[in-house]
Copies of this chain bind each other. A is one copy, B any other.
Amino acid sequence: MTTIQDVARHAAVSVSTVSNVLNGRTDRMRAETLARVEAAIRALQFRPSKLAQQLKTGQTPLLGLLVPSMANPMYGYIGREIESFAQERFGFRLLIGSTYRDREKESAFFEDLLAHGVRRVIVISSLADERHFESAVEHGMAVVSYDRGATPGKRSKVGHVMPDNFLAARLATEHLIGRGHRRLAFATVAGMTMSRSAKIDGFHAAAEAAGLRAQAQVLDGGPLDEYGDSVIAEVGRATALQIAQRAVRPTGIVALNDLMALGLMAGLREAGLRVPQDVSVVGIDGLFLAALSNPALTTVQLPVREMAHAMVERVMRSADEAGDPEYEQVFAALRLVERESVAPPPTAASARARRAGKEKPEKTVP
């Protein structure tokens, strides 16, 4: 590997002169010297070692990104936006880690980041508390957390960026109500995070406003082992199967997110229920996959790129400018994208007709 020494020797100057050109202090030398050094750099294909630079400066152009699972398309999507912005705008690369929402893994990742000299991290976690990385912040790390509000009353140095989850769920629920649905459900998974409870609140608020409080229920599909990818869709499927069993079931369901909605639709179909004729479904996220499903999923589109940019900006600035510790940015620019998974609820007549139609073949078969 060629070093700054090699370049200095080749250009017949001292290492400090080479260092000066590397760091843009070109005014301190003759044009001729500068030219010689640049020539040497090119000739030797010299790339300064970030290692040595950061050992000296304490800064490394690496951004830590912690996600529940990079196999989850939503996190891949956010991650890509973060990555390209961090790279183009600040020249930072991404050090990524999947944590499966496991506190041990998260802590271990933070330790490693610290050891690697990484001072800026974006965390997508939703773990109940942030204590395990408050300590990282004490060590001088700039942290911004996604989809999780600041703990009320507790002043933290962690920045917070999130969509308006309350609004998202409210929009989705209102859409269902607007189409005539009265028996509503919100499908979620076990474990209450801030974003989940905000969504549930939004769901209830919309139901309440329509006088449907008593008919709005929250469906908990159970725990997630390896949170993040296929699993949540599986929970959706299980929830659907369970709903199908009921004598009286919701006609309109808001899903925690698009992946859950996709699982829900698969399960509903498996159970012989049609979407949207028998049950309507609305997702939240706006994954490109929502447009591909059959029926195409009506969903609340989150401003992913904008949020990603905000997170990067914040995490890059905060260390320098020691910004206000109460930083919290909520994105309310949500848009309900209407597709095909919502229709008016079945009327009593149509439901009866359907049941009859379904039972006929069974009777004739024997």
Contacts and interface: CB of A to CB of B under 8 A. Distances in A.
Copies of this subunit: 2
Interface stretch (A161-169, A185-193, A244-252, A289-297): A289-297
A224 to B, nearest CB: 14
Given A73-B73, A293-B294, A294-B266, A116 B96 contact: no
A87 B97 CA distance: 9
Contacts of A292: 233, 262-263, 265-266, 293
Contact of A50 (B52, B116, B140): B116
Interface of A: 1, 47-52, 54-55, 60, 62, 69-73, 75-77, 79-80, 83-84, 87, 93-98, 109, 111-112, 114-117, 139-140, 229-230, 233, 262-263, 265-266, 269, 288-289, 291-296
Contact of A47 (B98, B111, B289): B111
9 contacts: A1-B139, A1-B140, A51-B60, A70-B79, A70-B83, A94-B96, A233-B288, A265-B294, A294-B294
A49 B83 CA distance: 25
A83 B55 contact: no
Q: Which 5 A-B pairs have the closest CB atoms?
A: A230-B288, A294-B294, A71-B80, A76-B76, A50-B115
A66 to B, nearest CB: 11
Given A1-B139, A294-B266, A115 B47 contact: yes
Contact of A266 (B47, B84, B296): B296
B47 A114 contact: yes
A95 to B, nearest CB: 6
A93 B98 CA distance: 10
Contacts of A84: 98
B95 A94 contact: yes
A339 to B, nearest CB: 11
Given A266-B294, A269-B294, A117 B73 contact: no
